[in-house]
């Protein structure tokens, strides 16, 4: 494993600063190794005139745009906030509206992709609210009051078919909140059928046994009759 490259990837995808301990835990390496590699990585970004820097605060690290690019970044962010939402952002916002409060990892299960940047964009726009947890994937999201006001509704219950999607069994199964009993039902039915077939076979064996006993009794009766004639 290339530790430096792995650290760079983790800093890129993480929406919050990561400590040396966080990185060591994820990469299963000693903190001393992480400290050495991250110092080199910080130096690489600082000395190679890049548009991205790795900043450090209280032994926590995060990627950030360089000060020289501040005006460009500000212009872009303003257009992002004021512009229309992308289909991906609308989809994510819809999931939060119908299924919130919902964890980041559950949003990503439903969408099938990492949603860190989209969630950050929705937070910047003030459309969602975030309750942080120890693990980023456990951060909980709900829509904001501004979002509800923008829609012109009094509560989320006024959304079309809110109850249907808020309590959807199919989505709950996808998120692992309830078990899919279909497989177990089939297994039970199959076992019952096997037992039933086994019972029928036993009945047939018993019937054959009864027939054999009847034949033996008839033979015995025949033997008695013959002896009497003699």
Domain CATH code at residue 129 = 1.10.10.10
Quote the pLDDT of residue 84: 76
21 has pLDDT over 90: yes
Q: Count other C-beta atoms under 10 Å from residue 174's C-beta.
A: 14
Percent of the chain at pLDDT above 70? 73
- Are 52 and 88 part of one and the same domain? no
Q: How confident is the model at residue 34 (pLDDT cuts 50, 70, 90)?
A: very high
pLDDT over 80 (residue 89): yes
Number of domains composing the chain: 3
Dihedral sign computed on CA atoms, order 176, 180, 181, 187: negative
- What residues have CB less than 8 Å from 61, skipping those under 6 apart? 11, 17, 18, 19, 20, 23, 38, 42, 54, 55
pLDDT tens across 44-57, in order?
Answer: 988 888 888 898 88
Q: What is the number of H-type helices and E-type strands within the chain?
A: 11, 6
- Residue with the two structure tokens 């990627």: 63
Cα-flanking dihedrals φ and ψ of residue 63, to 5°?
-80, 145
User: What count of other Cβ atoms lies within 10 Å of the Cβ of residue 38?
Assistant: 21
Question: The tokens 């279909």 sit on which residue?
Answer: 182
pLDDT, average across residues 154-182: 77
Give 230's pLDDT tier (boundaries 50, 70, 90). very low
pLDDT tens digits for range 184-224: 343 434 444 444 445 555 555 555 555 555 545 554 444 44
| Residue 158 and residue 94 in one domain | yes
Name the nearest CA neighbour of 150 among 129, 127, 166, 121.
127
Indicate the residue among 15, 44, 69 that finishes a domain: 69
CB of 2 within 8 A of CB of 41? Answer: no
- Give me the chain's average pLDDT, please: 78
Evaluate if residue 66 carries a pLDDT over 80.
yes
Q: Are residues 143 and 208 in the same domain?
A: no
Cα 114 from Cα 148, distance rounded (Å)? 25
Q: Are residues 159 and 194 in the same domain?
A: no
Rounded to an integer, the average pLDDT of 119-131 is: 90
Kindly state whether residue 77 falls inside one of the protein's structural domains. no
170 and 88 housed in the same domain:
yes
pTM of the predicted structure, to 2 decimals = 0.47
What pLDDT, on the 0 to 100 scale, is given for residue 184?
A: 38
Q: Is the pLDDT of residue 131 over 80?
A: yes
139 lies in some domain: yes
Tell whether the model's pLDDT for residue 120 goes beyond 60.
yes
Structure tokens at 92: 């994510």
C-alpha span between 13 and 137 (Å, rounded):
12
Question: Does 14 share its domain with 96?
Answer: no
- Which has more pLDDT, 177 or 1? 1
Tell me the residue range of the domain where 132 lies: 84-174
């Amino acid at each position: 494993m290339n530790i430096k490259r792995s650290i760079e990837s983790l800093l890129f995808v993480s929406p919050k600063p990561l400590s040396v301990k966080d990185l060591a835990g994820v990469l299963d390496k000693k903190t001393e190794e992480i400290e050495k590699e991250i110092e080199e990585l910080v130096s690489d970004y600082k000395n190679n005139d890049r548009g991205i820097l790795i900043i450090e605060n209280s032994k926590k690290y995060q990627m950030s745009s360089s000060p020289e690019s501040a005006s460009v970044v500000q212009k872009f962010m303003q257009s992002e906030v004021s512009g229309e939402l992308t289909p991906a952002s609308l989809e994510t916002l819809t999931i939060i509206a119908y299924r919130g409060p919902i964890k980041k990892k559950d949003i990503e299960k439903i969408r099938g992709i990492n949603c860190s940047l989209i969630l950050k964009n929705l937070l910047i726009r003030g459309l969602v609210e975030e309750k942080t947890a120890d693990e980023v994937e456990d951060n909980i999201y709900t829509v904001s009051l501004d979002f509800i006001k923008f829609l012109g509704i009094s509560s989320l219950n006024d959304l079309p078919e809110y109850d249907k999607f808020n309590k959807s069994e199919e989505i709950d199964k996808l998120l692992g909140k309830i078990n899919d009993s279909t497989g177990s039902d089939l297994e039970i039915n199959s076992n019952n059928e096997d037992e039933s077939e086994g019972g029928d076979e036993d009945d047939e064996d018993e019937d054959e046994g009864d027939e054999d006993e009847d034949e033996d009794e008839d033979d015995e009766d025949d033997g008695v009759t013959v002896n009497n004639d003699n």
